[in-house]
């Protein structure tokens, strides 16, 4: 009953057990928020911090975050690292290959607004929100694993609060 | 051969082609006329006492008046190193390819062509290399380059 206790539910006792009614929306969102598989998209130094978060000390897996090497199996792109103008179309393409519902976390100053390459750079894209819609921005250069995990928890919160009808609009 | 001997050797043998520069750098530095580049490169590589067969590095610099192209070469067998540079005017900058002498120059020259707009004669494969394939904003390593989304670092007081 652990799962059921966290959902809005109605339970009717019948002889030999009970019937539980709950809403599809709540169930789906609960499941989704707890198992965000992310597409590894580490393009620069932020990826090192992402790896650290995935390793045993911070243990990303306990949040249900498991990295995938294919966009078709992922719910989320964790864009960790500088996105250059040459890389931008590839990022967009990977995003397009993901199944709905899909989310994007911009990790690090580079993906938020160009970071240390904002000035005097001809090659770096000034923020990946020019390319894909971003759900969570995590500033920092690089953000600490704690910030990354907090960002992911915020994303879970966001998923919990959305409506089924939102899926269609994105 | 020591560095000073190398300087003297070049000074006596290639005096007409290479002018020594006093840069205070570790490796001896020479200046070469742009139209003698290929000749000098081949002579340095084929010289029995030098055997400078390895192009370590090659770079261009925009000094706002000129382009300076520096070739750093070394030898695997005689362990000698030296640099020479070419100074050329900003307008219609053009050099000879030294690929035939040092094949490693291929990518350096392509990069130079792409980022500085220095034309390379007899290169044979001048194609986009580092920039996006659909790039149409000119040569970004030039000091006077600008683009709509290019932000210059503000002066720090
Ligand atoms: S934000 Fe900083 S740490 Fe992250 S990719 Fe950019 S430069 Fe590297």
The rounded mean pLDDT for chain A is 88
Residue A39 lies in a domain: yes
Backbone φ and ψ for B150, nearest 5 degrees, come out as -90, 125
**Separation of alpha carbons B63 and B87, rounded Å:** 10
Partner-chain residue, chosen from A120, A123, A126, that has the shortest CB–CB distance to B152:
A120
The DSSP symbol for B144 reads T
pLDDT (tens digit per residue) in B25-35: 788 889 999 88
B151 touches chain A (CB under 8 A): yes
Q: What's residue A144's pLDDT? A: 93
Q: Which two structure tokens, joined as six digits, stand for B89?
A: 């005017």
**Separation of alpha carbons A29 and B67, rounded Å:** 61
Percent of chain B whose pLDDT exceeds 70: 100
Average pLDDT over residues B117-133: 88
pLDDT (tens digit per residue) in A41-54: 889 999 999 999 98
Residue A2 lies in a domain: no
Buried b (16+ CB within 10 A) or exposed e, A66-98: ebeeebeebbbbbbbbbbbbbbbeebeebbeeb
**Separation of alpha carbons B135 and A87, rounded Å:** 13
B1 versus A119: the higher-pLDDT residue is A119
Mutate to test the pocket of ligand 1, among A44, A83, A106, A151 (most ligand atoms within 8 A of CB): A44
Residue A53 lies in a domain: yes
CA of A142 to the centre of ligand 1 (A): 5
Residue A62 lies in a domain: yes
B152 touches chain A (CB under 8 A): yes
Average pLDDT over residues B27-54: 90
Residue A129 lies in a domain: yes
**Separation of alpha carbons A5 and B65, rounded Å:** 75
A93 touches chain B (CB under 8 A): no
B76 touches chain A (CB under 8 A): no
CA of A122 to the centre of ligand 1 (A): 17
Query: Which protein residue has the closest C-alpha to ligand 1 atom 5?
Result: A81
**Separation of alpha carbons B26 and B59, rounded Å:** 17
Alpha helix (H) residue ranges in chain B: 3-13, 37-46, 105-116
Mutate to test the pocket of ligand 1, among A42, A43, A45 (most ligand atoms within 8 A of CB): A45
C-beta separation of A37 from A65 below 8 A: yes
The rounded mean pLDDT for chain B is 89
Percent of chain B whose pLDDT exceeds 90: 41
pLDDT (tens digit per residue) in B52-81: 999 999 999 999 889 999 999 999 998 899
Residue A115 lies in a domain: yes
Q: Is the pTM of this model over 0.90?
A: no
Residue A11 lies in a domain: no
CA of B55 to the centre of ligand 1 (A): 33
pLDDT (tens digit per residue) in A49-73: 999 998 999 998 888 888 888 999 9
* Interface-testing mutation among A90, A91, A122, A125, with chain B (most B C-beta atoms within 10 A): A122
C-beta separation of A92 from A99 below 8 A: no
A113 touches chain B (CB under 8 A): no
- Partner residues linked to B81 by β-bridges: B74
Asked if B153's CB is within 8 angstroms of A122's CB, the reply is: no
C-beta separation of B15 from B72 below 8 A: no
**What's the CATH code of the domain at A139?**
3.40.50.12280
Angle at B26 between CA B120 and CA B106, to 5 degrees: 20
Three-state secondary structure call for residue B6: helix
* Interface-testing mutation among B141, B143, B151, with chain A (most A C-beta atoms within 10 A): B151
Asked if B151's CB is within 8 angstroms of A122's CB, the reply is: no
A136: Cβ contacts below 8 Å, ≥ 6 apart: A103, A104, A105, A106, A151, A152, A154, A155, A158
The domains located in chain B, with CATH, are 3-96 (3.30.460.80)
A169: Cβ contacts below 8 Å, ≥ 6 apart: none
B73 versus B157: the higher-pLDDT residue is B73
Residue-range definition of the domain harbouring residue A54: 35-161
Instruction: Report chain A's C-alpha Rg in angstroms.
Output: 18
Q: Which two structure tokens, joined as six digits, stand for B50?
A: 């030098």
pLDDT (tens digit per residue) in A101-116: 889 999 999 999 988 9
* Alpha-carbon torsion, ordered A135, A138, A139, A145, to 10 deg: -170
The answer, yes or no, to whether any atom of ligand 1 lies below 6 A from the CB of A45, is yes
Q: Which residue of B has its CA nearest to A116?
A: B153
Q: How many domains does chain A have?
A: 1
The DSSP symbol for A154 reads H
Percent of chain A whose pLDDT exceeds 70: 94
pLDDT above 80: residue A4 = no
């Amino acid at each position: 009953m652990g799962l059921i206790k966290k959902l809005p539910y109605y339970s009717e006792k019948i002889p030999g057990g009970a019937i539980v009614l709950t809403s599809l929306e709540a169930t789906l969102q609960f499941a989704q928020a707890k198992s965000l598989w992310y597409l590894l998209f580490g393009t620069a130094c932020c990826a090192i911090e992402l790896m650290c978060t995935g390793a045993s000390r911070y243990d990303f897996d306990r949040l249900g975050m498991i990295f995938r090497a294919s966009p078709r199996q992922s719910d989320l792109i964790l864009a960790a690292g500088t996105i250059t103008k040459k890389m931008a179309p590839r990022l967009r393409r990977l995003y397009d290959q993901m199944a709905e519902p899909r989310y994007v976390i911009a990790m690090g100053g580079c993906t938020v607004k160009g970071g240390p390459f904002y000035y005097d750079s001809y090659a770096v894209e000034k923020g990946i929100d020019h390319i894909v819609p971003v759900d969570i921005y995590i500033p920092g250069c690089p953000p600490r694993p704690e910030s990354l995990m907090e960002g992911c928890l915020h994303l879970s919160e966001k998923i919990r609060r959305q409506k089924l009808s939102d899926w269609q609009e994105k | 051969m020591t560095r000073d001997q190398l300087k003297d050797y070049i000074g006596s043998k290639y005096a007409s082609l290479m002018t020594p520069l006093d840069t205070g750098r570790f490796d001896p530095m020479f200046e070469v006329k742009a139209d003698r580049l290929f000749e000098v490169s081949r002579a340095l590589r084929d010289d029995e006492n030098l055997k400078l067969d390895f192009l370590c590095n090659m770079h261009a610099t925009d000094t706002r008046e000129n382009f300076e192209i520096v070739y750093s070469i070394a030898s695997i067998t005689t362990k000698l190193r030296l640099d020479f540079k070419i100074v050329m005017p900003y307008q219609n900058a053009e050099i000879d390819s030294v690929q035939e002498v040092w094949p490693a120059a291929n990518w350096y020259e392509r990069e130079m062509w792409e980022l500085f707009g220095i034309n390379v004669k007899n290169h044979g494969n001048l194609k986009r290399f580092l920039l996006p394939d659909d790039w149409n904003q000119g040569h970004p390593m030039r000091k006077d380059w600008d683009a709509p989304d290019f932000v210059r670092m503000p002066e720090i007081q």
